[in-house]
Amino acid sequence: MYTATDDPNGISITPVGYCNADFAGDVDDRKSVSGHTYLLGGGAISWNSKKQTTTALSSTEAKYMAIFHATCQVIWHQNLLEGLGYPQEELTILYSNNQSAITLSRDTQFHARSKHFDVQNHFVHEKVENGVIDIIYVPTDNNIADIFTKALLKPKHQKFRENLGMLMA
């Protein structure tokens, strides 16, 4: 069964995103897996889990790639909602559990260690500066996107499944 959060004024058109990545999780090629989900009205309307195309050199880079892909998804959903007659009036909150990656999204200073993923950095930073998204820290134990990046113990899997709005019938 798929449910939405009860809202006394109807279903809220305030989307929220979660993103995460493991770091070098594939033991053969050491590529990371990114995952993100996009919730609307308390239920997941899209999600993705995919191996990254390049090998990240740090956990910050792996998480930042996840933020980049989730940001692209946020923009796609904003355009879709606007096309359906529901333009988004407030920014989208995107949750990540990596404070270094969040700092990179906000900081305009040159970061020598992040130059190799500079284009993604500028794209995400531009969206933060323009008020399209805000990236906020969420502890790993509360990062719903963790369900898309690795195997979880049953209690955590059930918790995140319920957070996605997917309940057992």
What is the SS3 string spanning the chain? Answer: CECCCCCCCCCCCCCEEEEEECCCCCCCCCCCEEEEEEEECCEEEEEEEEECCCCCCCHHHHHHHHHHHHHHHHHHHHHHHHHCCCCCCCCEEEEECCHHHHHHHHCCCCCHHHHHHHHHHHHHHHHHHCCCEEEEECCHHHCHHHHHCCCCCHHHHHHHHHHCCECCC
Share of the chain above pLDDT 70, in %: 84
What pLDDT, on a 0 to 100 scale, did the predictor assign at position 28? Answer: 94
Cβ neighbourhood burial of 66 (10 Å; 0-12, 13-18, 19+): buried
pTM: 0.86
Q: Angle at Cα 33 formed by Cα 110 and Cα 105, nearest 5°? A: 25
For residue 1, what pLDDT is reported?
44
Name the pLDDT band for 11 (thresholds 50, 70, 90).
low
The lowest-confidence range among 81-95, 106-120, 137-151 is 106-120
State the pLDDT at residue 13. Answer: 64
Residue 12 reports pLDDT greater than 90 = no
Residue 7 has pLDDT above 70, yes or no: no
pLDDT at 20 (0 to 100):
98
CA distance 145 to 161: 10
Q: Is the pLDDT of residue 117 over 60?
A: yes
Q: Between 109 and 151, where is the model more confident?
A: 151
Q: So what's the pLDDT on residue 162?
A: 93
pLDDT band, very low/low/confident/very high, at 122 (cuts 50, 70, 90) = confident
Domains defined for the chain, CATH in brackets: 16-163 (3.30.420.10)
Alpha-carbon gap, residue 111 to 101, rounded angstroms: 12
